[in-house]
Chain A
């Protein structure tokens, strides 16, 4: 007899876990195809394609058919702006934090300096402290800093430094760097310094050694760190909420604003697209890690 006989409880536990993990997501995706404008009951898919027709709160016909709410979303200017902001912030902060994070990981690996234990510990602080604390901290810092700068330089009107896309990017970089550093550090764990010595031995100076040998070897680590940073930045709400200002609305902030008014299936449509994107990112990440493991 197999000593690891499966107890029925294991199967039930797995089912329960999967249900609560994925049922909300399935519901959300399903409702993005809802014929009803109100997001309360699922009234079935929008049946036919044609000029827009409505019966009360029910959409009976739409030029986009079942994808009605996705089309509505596409027409929504504000969503477009928010999406662009989100991507700008995510791409910029990913790029910058990947560079800083990698440099930090390399420095910690090769040099011994007095504050090294503290530096290592400080990597975990942004990860473990509550996000809302970080958010308030960021807000306090920037408003105080900007007030001092604005007053002392006598800036007025549009020249005044204000919260906006810049402050969001800076705070995203701040919380992404530790994640990148930790991922790259894990990759560097088994990195044998004799590869770099071999390159120098063969006539490559420090710079050439880095670009031709070190960087290609740690690239999978850097990429998975960057991808992690990207997904974190993409869906960050709390810190962005505090660091953002007028004209720098991101998608999570925008959705939150919508929800406070009415919940239309547009939100669901937006979320569905979003989930799709994140899913692609996660699959990429897994592929990378699988290749690294080989």
Chain B
């Protein structure tokens, strides 16, 4: 009996080294550890060149790790070729076979399994129904729109009912509106079929809305792995806090620690700031105070003695739902996103340059991270 693993895919200390054309060696993937649970929607998020595609290609079997090992359903993959792995890929370029019809494209994978013809027919029909492209069987890929081609690529991989589906920026070529639609649809399909999705994207909004868990990557390394809420609300490094959403960073030195909280002396403000010690900083260390612009409260008078700073508005930007207010405090400019809760045509309702006000940083919304 096959040993069942809790994890669909595991990367254990995987390194992938490429020789660059310049002759130097580059670790495209650098000692990566990842556990992807069965049935999970897992995203790899990172900027261009951080090694997302390389990681995915190693799972699919198109590349082999230089070091470390990849496990699929608990089995070490070694040099197992792609056609012997129970994973399927949706390519960014779709890679639909141009000389085959939609039906032939989708049936291809089942023919390789030597499924009986009537079973193939039934399964192709079912998957076409799922991606809402019934009646397109006889078309060639070139006779379909980009969005339709995307669905066929998805159907072609889904029809194999793999344990894991690997998707490399599958929506990258679609326009914004279609992209949003497909995000919802993909998520719905994933929940319906219960297959593990490993999804590569460099769009943080996409990752946050679709994923159960996210791995944030940078320069071949995993910076943080967690649920969207964890990643956004409790970033463990300055990199993640800056990469996902926006943050204000106030640099300083740790003055004191009491329980979960830490106090940091910020020279630019000439005062101490208190926040949650999420970065597990120690006394005397360099640290950075991190707070999201939407979590800062503006008031006329200080709300408390702690974490309240007088400042003057430098500029404002009205963006409809919010007003972005840039406030000069000490030597720093702090950005604050204020929701426009009242409807008004009066410019004064949206703050004006030079206006004096108080910024209140609630300690429970303020994070203290190591300044790496």
Contact = CB atoms under 8 A, between A and B. Distances in A.
Contact of B112 (A192, A194, A208): A208
B232 interface: no
A212 B87 CA distance: 21
A78 interface: no
A205 B83 CA distance: 6
B91 A198 contact: yes
B343 interface: no
Contacts of B61: 200-201
A294 B113 CA distance: 33
Contacts of A192: 93, 95
Nearest to A294: B142
Contacts of A212: 108
B93 A203 contact: no
A195 B82 CA distance: 13
Interface residues of A, number: 17
A79 interface: no
Contacts of A71: none
Interface string B82-110: 11000111010101111100000000110
A200 B91 contact: no
B160 A203 contact: yes
Interface in A162-213: 192, 194-195, 197-205, 208, 212-213
B18 to A, nearest CB: 14
Contacts of A195: 95, 97
B156 interface: yes
Contact of A203 (B62, B91, B95, B109): B109
Interface residues of B, number: 23
Contacts of A200: 61-62, 81-83
B108 A194 contact: no
Nearest to B86: A203
A144 B81 CA distance: 49
B97 A198 contact: yes
Given A202-B88, A216-B99, A197 B82 contact: yes
Given A194-B91, A197-B62, A212-B108, A203 B97 contact: no
A202 B61 CA distance: 12
A278 B93 CA distance: 41
Given A192-B95, A194-B95, A217-B98, A199 B108 contact: yes
Interface string B155-190: 011001000000000000000000000000000000
Contacts of A208: 112
B99 A203 contact: no
B361 interface: no
Interface string A67-85: 0000000000000000000
Contact of A194 (B81, B93, B156): B93
Given A192-B93, A194-B93, A197-B91, A203 B98 contact: no
B167 to A, nearest CB: 12
B43 to A, nearest CB: 20
A198 B93 CA distance: 11
A5 B105 CA distance: 51
B367 interface: no
Nearest to B108: A202
A189 to B, nearest CB: 16
Given A197-B62, A197-B82, A202 B112 contact: yes
Nearest to A208: B112
Most chain-A Cβ atoms within 10 A of its Cβ — which of B61, B108, B113, B157? Answer: B108
B83 A217 contact: no
A111 B62 CA distance: 15
Contacts of B288: none
Contacts of A197: 60, 62, 82, 89, 91, 95
Interface string A44-55: 000000000000
Interface of B: 60-62, 81-83, 87-89, 91, 93, 95-99, 108-109, 112-113, 156-157, 160
Given A198-B95, A201-B157, A204-B112, 14 more contacts: A194-B93, A194-B95, A195-B95, A197-B60, A198-B97, A199-B108, A200-B62, A200-B82, A201-B83, A203-B83, A203-B112, A204-B83, A205-B81, A217-B97
Minimum-distance CB pairs A-B, first 7: A203-B112, A202-B109, A198-B95, A194-B95, A200-B82, A216-B99, A201-B89
9 contacts: A197-B89, A198-B89, A201-B87, A202-B83, A202-B108, A203-B83, A203-B160, A204-B112, A212-B108
